[in-house]
Amino acid sequence: MAKKVLIAYASKTGATAEIAEAIGDELRTHGHDVDVLDVATVRGIEPYDAVVLGSALYIRRWQKDAVRFLRHHIDELRTRQVWLFHSGPVGPDKDQDETMPPAVRHLAHEIGATPAVTFPGRLEQATAKGFLARHLATGNLAGDSRDWAKIRAWAADISAALDATERSSWHRPTARPPAGHYLG
């Protein structure tokens, strides 16, 4: 049964938005009804069965709009399947799994979301913002490190999880899961 899915993103230079669009395209090919929106434009999540939230990751921090979204919708997100991702690592360390920022890790735990998946990002002179980013975009960190096959495979896994779960039977336990245990 097709699910209504919100994919919300907070992107600084557009690379995370493009990842969100690719996830949306993959979910649509599996028959789901998907809206891909900048997180700042989301007014509510009532019509959605599931939420995928992504943020650009800079200096190990999520974009403020993405964190604000988690805080604002915490009660509603507890009643939905939720997946998180962030993008940003580039260069030789692009495949290193980034740890969730503490505030995001706490909120993910509160809503029962799985830990965020890390996708390599993009750093190009034309879109780099800020002195440090512009400087780094001229060196060996410059380029597009995104792995589109990995992104599509992750989205296909989300689709399989959605297909396996009926919304009417989906509800999170009212008690918190044990520390270190995430549902999603």
The pair of structure tokens assigned to 183 is: 């549902």
Better-scored residue on pLDDT, 150 or 179: 150
| Alpha carbon distance 75, 181 (integer Å) | 19
For residue range 83-141, list pLDDT tens digits in order.
999 987 554 454 455 567 888 889 999 999 988 888 887 755 455 455 444 445 455 55
Chain-centroid distance, C-alpha 131? 26
Domains in the chain with CATH codes: 4-166 (3.40.50.360)
